[in-house]
Structure 1
Amino acid sequence: MASIPGIGSGIDINSIVGAMVNAEKAPKEAQLARLEKASTTKFSALGTLKGALSEFQTAMKDLNSLALFEKRTATSSNTTAVSASAEKTALAGSYQLAVKQLATSSRVATGAIPSAYTAPADGKLTVKLGAADTAGLSVDIAAGDTLEQIRNKLNTTLKDKGVSANIVNNPADGTSRLVLNAKDTGAGKDIVVAADAGLEALAVDGAVKAGASSAGYLGDPAQSAIFSIDGLEQTSATNTLKDVIPGVTFNLLSKTEADKPLTLTVGQDKAGVTTSIKKFVDAYNKLIKTSSELTNVTQVGEGKPPVVGGLVGDATVRTLLSGVRNELVNPAGQEGVRVLADLGITTQKDGTLKIDDAKLGTAITDNFDSLGSFFTGDSGLMSRVDKRIDGYIQTGGVLEQRMKGIQTTLTDIDKQKETLTRRVSQLQTRLFAQFNAMDALVGNLNATSDRLTQALGSLPGVVKQSN
């Protein structure tokens, strides 16, 4: 707003009032700005610290699981032939496994019949899975049923038996064949279709190989898997084998080359444990680096103000890290692995941890059984460290309480700003009223002075001085 001199006095009232208002407002405004900046910086710093602690706690939970150390792996040297998995009850060992034959299911086809075939008479089709299936399932066929209708009836009746039917058409000669597939694998489970009189064209003997137009099995007849473990030959109706080796499940995928068995190795999940340990170290190092950034004063150049962390001199950070470091060097009361250094994990000058991969690998191989008790359980390292930090980041913990306190401060700052704005507005209104009144008074006095001067100049005997 442009300054307008007082009409009566000629004084620049706007400038005077503005200066007086600013003199009243500036100190408090600057104080609130400094407090708001400091509070916001500290609130953000506490949030960053809490995030790093939460990530660290998550990494510890992964390593504090006894299941991690109980987990077993089953590794195949030829994953295209055999895949495997192991339960925690599996014992470590190495096995030579050869696959001579995969288990297959039955797939049969009727003889070639005209594509426009219709059932010539009422009757039944009885479908069996091997000689042991003496009863089978009967499907009612009505005179005039087309191949599509017969297929649909077969599928409806046989779905619970694990047998499905479809039609394959031959465009070269206009013939079609019903093809039936069994879900279950294993020798002696060949599909047999017996037909009543008049429906003989739909009969199939699953033990006879199909010809160019004759009925029978397609590919191979139903057969069991044949495999050997360490030279001991065995058979299985399925390609999924469970507890042939106790606690181990493996799937046969393809035959192995003759006299070239694959190696199946069962052992502890060392790779999974190694990964979890490295995640823990990475999360701890991130916590240390984050804490360092939040508590350091960094010089950025001559003549420039330093960069000050949001928690410089904060006792909370020192107490927290001191407690965690004490637990990391506190030895466990057991044989084998007692401290992190036994795993090749040592502390560097900046407080972060460093892993000697070779020493870690050796320690895991030689002392795997002691790792679980070192890391897990109520007295394990992860539980002890977790107790040190949980009070800081849990709901209602130290950091949350401090952040709530800062939020209260920021709310109070906003209220003080509103109060200051109202007070300054009231001051400005009062000053303008006072100065305007003074200006009007001065204007009246000046007008009175001018009138007196004119009156006196008009009196007889008064001689006006010429300029």
Structure 2
Amino acid sequence: MTSVSSSILTALGAGSGIDTSSLVSSLVSATKEPRQTAITSRQTTNNARISALASASSSLDTFADALNSLLAGTGYSGTPASNDASIVAVSALPGGTPAGLPAQIVVNQLASARSLASTPVAGATSSTAVGEGQLTLTVAGKSQTITIDSTNNSYAGLAAAINNAGLGVTASVVTDTQGTRLVMKGPTGAANDISLTSVSGTDLAKFAWNGTDSATMASAGDPKDAIILLDGVEQHYAGNTIDSAIAYLRIDLNKAAPGTSVTLATTEPTTSMRDLMVEFVDAYNTLMKALNTATATGTDSSNAGVLNGESSIRDMKRQLSQIVSTQLTSTGTYKTLNDLGVSTNRDGTLSLDTTMLDKAIAADPTAITQMLNPSVKTDTNIGLAGLMDKVRTNIEKDGGPLASSQAQYKALATDLSDQLDKLDTQMADYQDQLTKVYSAMETRLSALKATQSYLEQQVALWTKSNN
């Protein structure tokens, strides 16, 4: 769209013979360009700093998140193990670290349940009627009435009613070459014996059992407790899965083996811990080298780092450098990364003395594992990932140096953009002003030329008449 000023400029030049349109454009450009260049140069630098700060923060987040994800894997924590899983298997329970390992366990007896079976009826099926009436099912002193009527009068209906009683008894219908029968199994444990007594219905009475076998219902197994010797102490349990013998350890009894001692211990991830330290130092050095490049002094501004002199990055590097001397645990011989052979170089990167690390792991693998990756983090045993989270939170906190610098540069970006808009407005006004000045000049020149032409004509007439 053509502006009023440009239209006037196009019309100029008729009186003076000067290209005033080009002259005004040159004057505006000469005034605007240096100021615009200065602002855009500051914008370029400021945008680079905003990007570099965001990159530094993102790199720190990536480092901390990767460390958390890595240490969450099972390969970086002590793993309970049994030297004979066919007899006893073990696994860790959440919330803590198994204490008291290694331990010796002997399985003298597995827990078992009361099993009952009715006499097979040849030719019967699961849908064959069993008779209507009521039975009372009792387990460990708790009873429930089992009702059989026209809606569930069958072997399958009776089994379903027992299963739905909510007393932990499992019933099923078995059909084989001998016929069809009802099979029941109660919970394991000596205290969890079951009985089924007749309340009404003559036909249902054949399924009753109250401690004595009959011609129609017999016991196929007695309820017993599991009996173990744990470090020589006899213990009884109702089931074959034990969660309370050793804190935070699940013990699964798979087979009775009187006289056979099974060792329960913790297999420490010594190789994983060594690899962890090597990878940690490498990843830390990658982050620190990037920060060093961003803050490099350089011989002049052309090769200095974009964040040269930036105080927030100096603060970040300072806080990161304190990691090696910060206590990860308050107890034991090994408390810091320095104790494991990690030291700081002059440029802020880390070095790892693997010989020193190997000696520490060999001397106390459990302590090293719990120091670097505790099963339960506490204020005094935060672990490596917890330490990085703490450092990251402190660096990125609201009102901290990093957040303040980011806010400062974002505010400057807005201000520089406003300055460019203001400059455009000022230059448009300046162009209009120049246009008016030269337009007035052209008007005066045109008037003077008209006067000159008139005078020349009069002089010519006077001269002619005098001749």
Q: Normalized against structure 2, the TM-score is what?
A: 0.69
1:399 aligns with 2:402: yes
CA contact (8 A) 1:206 1:217 kept: no
Q: 2:148 aligns with which of 137, 141, 147?
A: 141
Partner of residue 90 from structure 1, selected from 89, 99, 116: 99
SS in structure 1 of the partner of residue 442 of structure 2: helix
Matched, 1:410 2:413: yes
- 2:29 pairs with 1:29: no
**Residue 437 (1) aligns with residue 440 (2):** yes
Aligned to 1:45: 52
Q: Give the % identical residues.
A: 23
Q: Give the root-mean-square deviation of aligned CA atoms.
A: 5.3
CA-CA distance at 1:83 after TM superposition: 1.9
Q: Does structure 1 retain, via aligned residues, the 8 Å contact 2:103–2:230?
A: no
Structure 1 residues 68-87: aligned runs within 5 Å: 74-78=80-84, 82-85=89-92, 87=96
In structure 2, the CA distance between the partners of 1:367 and 1:139, relative to structure 1 (3 Å rule), is closer
> How far 1:140 moved relative to its partner?
3.4
CA deviations over 1:266-311 (Å, ceiling 9, x no partner): 4878789768766764564344223212113689xxxxx9654221
Partner of 1:351: 348
Alignment of 1:59-458 (within 5 A): 74-78=80-84, 82-85=89-92, 87-88=96-97, 90-95=99-104, 97=105, 102-106=110-114, 108=116, 110=118, 111-112=120-121, 113-118=124-129, 120-121=131-132, 123-129=133-139, 133=141, 136-142=143-149, 145-147=152-154, 150-151=158-159, 153-156=161-164, 158-159=165-166, 161-165=167-171, 178-182=182-186, 184-187=187-190, 189=192, 191-195=194-198, 196-200=200-204, 203=207, 205=209, 222-225=223-226, 236-244=237-245, 246-247=246-247, 249-252=249-252, 254-255=254-255, 262-266=262-266, 281=281, 284-296=284-296, 308-314=304-310, 317-318=313-314, 321=317, 325=321, 328=324, 336-337=333-334, 340-348=337-345, 350-366=347-363, 392-446=395-449
From the superposition, tell whether residues 458 and 263 of structure 1 become closer, same or farther in structure 2 (CA, over 3 Å). farther
Distance 1:198 1:166 in 2: 22
Distance of aligned partners of 1:431 and 1:287 in 2 relative to their CA distance in 1, 3 Å threshold:
same
| TM-score, with structure 1 as normaliser | 0.69
Any gaps of 5 or more consecutive residues in structure 1? Answer: 63-70, 300-304, 463-467
- Paired residues of 1:209 and 1:216 also in contact (CA < 8 A): yes
Deviation at 1:221, TM superposition (A): 5.9
1:8 aligns with 2:9: no
Q: Deviations over 1:141-167 (max 9, x none)?
A: 3467523654554444x21x1235455
Given the superposition, is the C-alpha separation of residues 166 and 262 from structure 1 closer, same or farther in structure 2, using an over 3 Å criterion? same
Whether the 8 Å CA contact 1:91–1:267 is kept in 2: the answer is no
CA 1:377–1:84 in structure 2 vs 1: closer, same or farther (change >3 Å)?
Answer: closer
CA contact (8 A) 1:100 1:226 kept: yes
Please state how far the C-alpha of 1:418 moved relative to its aligned partner: 2.1
- Uncovered stretches (5+) of structure 2, i.e. residues with no partner: 70-76
Count matched residues. Answer: 435
